[in-house]
Chains A and B, each alone.
Chain A
């Protein structure tokens, strides 16, 4: 095979696991708040919540798309991270930067526990167990009023004192990129292959010498750690925490974005989150006399995607746009390794329907 010339840009992109198009999209997101319609404060808030959901959906897909266990208590774990960080900041004055990491740590411990407890269970049973963990956690957050102030809401200092939300936006974009790169690094090693094998057929994976115990626990712990870290951001961005952040409806939101984006792709959810969340917010604010219409559309979209195109956006993209004849376009969507004629199969095309087992 001929040696492919790589310049330093390609090396950097390879390190970040991005295609040139992905990198361009990130640059676009970074300059978006400067471009006129998006430089208003409320649009920046929308962008932040979109980036937040995008980051969560990447970390969620790391479990759901790879080892095929839907962590139905995901936002409860995110909320646990948020509460940890907020309480540490309020009680002992810990700086939020360390607090976020502490939140990630508690979430990691819980993820480890859930990982161990769900080991004997599969599919829907594991999802239920994670869900019940989430319900119990939300009940605790509601009732432990001395610690969390319950439904009254816990006031939290914001991370940046400035009135503008711009610094929050860049922070969450960076966090999203970090989460993407971490999950990609893990999944492009042998470990990712093992995850997929376990997700598709646990018995076959075990026969091939993969120890599911180890991989499932690692996967759960990592995915929950990332959720806890994001929870810290949530707490210090919104400035108030109520047990509602742990509600199943929030998990459903993340789940919908991840699945419409395409399971097992990691990037699909992130790509779809921005147009999706901003579209939803637009519908909600322009049709404010019809409360709930945005969520109806949202549920319908999830159903339509599940019925007609279970692979989601990532599968669509891999099928129709990954293999253009044009060399430059091919470079743009695949990176430097792309050869229009020599590749007979789509390079990074997990057939999403089959990856969830």
Chain B
């Protein structure tokens, strides 16, 4: 089934995608050898979660042509739900140590966050985006972008209004001793976060590739009119897309609650990072976003490691500006750019 074609591999290594992936792998290996394996571990854990956030962003780009500025706010909703679900569970487990919730609590939390995130996505599609779509499709990209800017302001300050601006965090999801791999101690939470991200990415990939609904979503992203012609219910697909993408962000938020305590603007950092990812991966390229997430997270970890924390916005954004200048369609550019140009 898999034939090795030397020429194709050679060509791939000469393409922008090949060069950047090989360079990042080389950089990761070098940094791991010189600074210790924690570089690799941090990159992988953060990259996994970033992949979830940026996959959702890329999906909304590709299918709905919305440059989502409020995506970090669904991450924030995920952290918020996780906090309010996990705290009582944790208190209950504290008094009943043998309860089944001890093991299932974090999972329930994350599933609840995914559900609420999906609901929030459906609500924003129904209340906001479909309203604009009904009225005018002219300048859709720019208008919907401004709409998401407004949505982001509303959600951030709504959080502050109803839940306060203090940090709402937890110490950990899973107790127990940390794993030890390659002489690095990885806390169970980090390991589980990465494991969850992998599972979700896999499930998502299978869903998009092998199910009818997933194919319908991809059809809409390729050609909306064509999808309508072959009988795909557009509105349902758009709503589903929004729900999936917001649920992905909420899952990321919920499973990273131990690193990012919930507060109003917690979503901004993942948002910036996810934008970096989708820009270098090419807007609307969902699988490219997974690879891009690991590249961006490697960039961030290397910056913190070699230059110092706090520079982790400067160096990646400068690099991304350079990439954009020379390769405006991204490293793994896609065809959707024509629509988003407007």
Contact = CB atoms under 8 A, between A and B. Distances in A.
Interface of A: 68, 70, 117, 120-125, 127-129, 131-133, 135-136, 138-140, 142-143, 248-249, 252, 255-256, 259, 290-293, 295-296, 298-303, 306-308, 310, 353-354, 356-357
B311 interface: yes
B325 A306 contact: no
B154 A303 contact: yes
Contacts, number: 144
Contacts of A135: 272, 313, 317
Contacts of B340: 123-125
Contact of A139 (B128, B141, B317): B317
Contacts of B341: 122-125
A234 to B, nearest CB: 21
B313 A139 contact: yes
B317 A303 contact: no
Interface of A is mostly: helix
Given A122-B342, A124-B142, A353-B136, A291 B160 contact: yes
Given A125-B341, A307-B135, A307-B147, A138 B160 contact: no
A357 B138 CA distance: 8
Nearest to A151: B310
Among B143, B279, B310, B317, residue most surrounded by chain A Cβ atoms (within 10 Å): B317
B138 A353 contact: yes
B321 A299 contact: no
Given A300-B150, A307-B131, 16 more contacts: A125-B341, A128-B275, A129-B321, A135-B317, A136-B318, A139-B317, A252-B149, A292-B158, A295-B157, A296-B158, A299-B151, A299-B153, A303-B150, A310-B136, A353-B139, A356-B143
Contact of A142 (B142, B153, B310, B325): B310
Contacts of B111: none
Among B143, B149, B275, B311, residue most surrounded by chain A Cβ atoms (within 10 Å): B149
A139 B314 contact: yes
Nearest to A119: B325
Given A292-B160, A298-B153, A357-B342, A120 B328 contact: yes
Chain B interface: which size bin?
A: 35 or more
A299 B139 contact: no
Contact of B161 (A120, A292, A307, A308): A292
B304 interface: no
A302 B328 contact: no
A132 B152 contact: no
B145 interface: yes
Interface string B329-342: 00000000000111
A310 B147 CA distance: 10
A300 B154 contact: yes
Contacts of A308: 135
B132 interface: yes
A311 to B, nearest CB: 11
